[in-house]
Chains A and B, each alone.
Chain A
Amino acid sequence: MLEIENLHSQIGGTDILRGLSLNVNAGEVHAIMGPNGSGKSTLAQVIAGHEEYVVTDGSVTYKGADLLSLDPEERARDGIFLGFQYPVEIPGVNNAYLLKAAMNAKRKHLGLEEIDAFEFLKLAKERMAMLGMDPKFLNRGVNEGFSGGEKKRNEILQMAMLEPSLAILDETDSGLDIDALKAVAEGVNSLRTPERAIVLVTHYQRLLDYIEPDFVHVLSEGRIVRSGDKSLALELEDKGYDWVREAANG
């Protein structure tokens, strides 16, 4: 589904990704781990299409086509979802309105009719119940005054409504207490299907106790320096990131 080849990217003239390659197939869950500054979030932003991150070399192919030539909104309509590390507060745009606009943008792209208001509400309430969210959140401003946990749940709610082919969840576990972490993980697990790929970007192993990855990759200085199965995450937890850096340099 996603093939990244020798990706180089910079922001403000500083190189962040330095030759990253990664293949993600449908049905797989990949965890990208690494120390702060290793390029994890940059990778997520580049895939989503943030224009401040300039790709200087390499390629990204999604569903067999060049991804990098698409605008962020085109990528989203084509099934890419980025769960933000810091979800943006947008007072004055209510949650339901954004969800509906996002769903309809995708449906239009797929040549479908706009979603029926009743059907939308039913679906939203169902998904919110799964995530332990109060339906009142639908009528609040997007992330406005939400706690850290509420914001992350809201990201997963958007993912659940948009049903992406490829979801990249950037530090979805950061700032969550254990209950919120469990709820978010349950939400993500319920969205695991053979057609969908999920990339978890995380600093800590903790999230992976609840969402079991098929592959774990360790990022250091803009490159994947080790890949393995879930046991790699445990090894990392045990030995720390210095171990990876040494392994990469040695």
Chain B
Amino acid sequence: MKQTALSLPALRGVVESMSDDGLRPAREAALRSLDTRGLPTLRDEDWKYTDLSSAIAISNQWLKNGAPAASDDLQGSIDEITAAVAANWLIVANGVIDDTRFTPGDAIDVERFSATTAPIVADRALADLNVALLQDGLRIRVHATPERPLGILVIDSANDAAAVSQANIEICVSDNCSAEIVEYHASVGEGDHYANTIVSLDTGYRSQVGYTRIQNRRIGHVFTGRISAALGTDSTLDMANYDIGGGLVRNDVDINLAATGAAANFNGLYLVGDNQHIDNHTSVEHRVGPAVSSQEYRGILNGSCRAVWNGKAIVFEGADGTDATQANHNLLLSERSEIDAKPELEIYAEDVKCAHGTTVGQLDETALFYLQSRGIDKMQGRQMLTHAFAVDLVSRTPVDATRDAVNALVSARLEELIRVQAQ
């Protein structure tokens, strides 16, 4: 299959026109690297279900226009989101950092990439693209236990013309600290948009991190977002990922367990309807043992749409005492919905406990009749049953401050999804 290629000369022109700040060497290195690596195509095993052509087309359009900065006023949307979740918010709006709503001093230090000489890591093509076009990034250190959750809102707009934005955030949680983090993605506007976000998270010795990630971009907008987490000794990461919106979406969750006693529990819920393609790729590297990883992803699909769940776990030689479980359950409400579910286990150690399970099913008709026999109409019954399928993951959201917001988003989206009758 012939795929659109990213216009590298146009990209180079835009990169050269960006400000001559501390990031310039990193941008240029990323550009060279991207030239060698190239963006992933359907021929790459990890990308066989997700075609980035639309992201590339939007990027080319935007580059051709001279990479105009979107200048829409997002304050109203930002107000709404930051009011729904009580957190100490850092914002990246149209690729530009906005720390005006952030209260410094609550156990969190924030620096911009441009203000330091620390190297900026780009280990794959989408990271190259991110760094090449990065206005600036955030380096966040949690050095005690904050009173409020840390919020990171990545919000974009595309009203008149195609737009592209990058966000790059590094978070380090120090030894013995507890932190709650919310990562929220939103977008507005009728135009085409492509956002590409990278978050890297380091958890210190005996630290505990609760992490809720909410992706509620506009249906039709393209999003690639990655979080890679390296867990310290005896640290715990509890994470939940909610995909509510977005058009073409690819999430990568990469967990590196290279310290003993680390535990990563991460769950995901994707609600997918017409014109959506939601791809969740997770990867856990068990490099030493004992360490624990568990994941449960659930999906509800209705209408003409597709979802992908690919859960990879690699247990390296010598990583004895590894306990890795993965589960993926899907509710398919329409014949036009498609799920590609793929667990991948590679085990090179002796003493390990690994389990995986995947299911794809429809609504339980017996349960639906039971509800009808109690006076509940079919539509409401379907809503109750689909909500029931999701509610467990909603109630297990690791950041308390997000629970009501997640519940409201999930309920509203499910109502929309169910109103489209199953075909």
Contacts and interface: CB of A to CB of B under 8 A. Distances in A.
B398 to A, nearest CB: 19
B387 interface: yes
B316 interface: no
B374 interface: yes
Interface in A59-102: 71-73, 75-77, 81-82, 84, 87-88, 90-93, 97-98, 101-102
A93 B388 contact: yes
Contacts of A92: 387-392
Of listed B371, B375, B384, residue having the most chain A CB within 10 A: B375
Given A93-B385, A101-B380, A49 B372 contact: yes
A98 B387 contact: no
Nearest to A80: B373
A48 B373 contact: yes
Contact of A101 (B369, B376, B378, B385): B376
A105 interface: yes
A158 interface: yes
Interface in A107-139: 109
Interface in B356-394: 364, 366-367, 369-378, 380-381, 384-385, 387-392
Nearest to A89: B367
Interface in B381-423: 381, 384-385, 387-392
Interface residues of B, number: 23
Contacts of B374: 73, 76, 98, 101-102, 105, 158, 162
B415 to A, nearest CB: 14
A73 B366 contact: no
Interface residues of B: mostly helix, strand, loop or mixed?
helix
A193 to B, nearest CB: 20
Contacts of A49: 372-373
In the complex, which range does the number of interface residues on chain A fall in? 20 to 34
Interface string B92-124: 000000000000000000000000000000000
A151 to B, nearest CB: 11
Nearest to B372: A72
B371 A98 contact: yes
Contacts of B387: 92-93
B132 to A, nearest CB: 45
A86 to B, nearest CB: 9
In this complex, the member of B374, B378, B380, B384 whose beta carbon has the largest number of chain A beta carbons within 10 angstroms is B374
A76 B387 CA distance: 23
Nearest to B381: A73
Contacts of A91: 388, 392
Interface of A: 48-51, 71-73, 75-77, 81-82, 84, 87-88, 90-93, 97-98, 101-102, 105-106, 109, 141, 158, 162
Interface of B: 364, 366-367, 369-378, 380-381, 384-385, 387-392
27 contacts: A48-B373, A49-B372, A51-B369, A71-B372, A71-B377, A73-B372, A73-B373, A73-B374, A84-B373, A88-B364, A88-B370, A90-B370, A90-B371, A90-B384, A90-B388, A91-B392, A92-B387, A92-B389, A92-B390, A98-B384, A101-B384, A102-B374, A102-B375, A105-B376, A109-B375, A158-B374, A162-B374
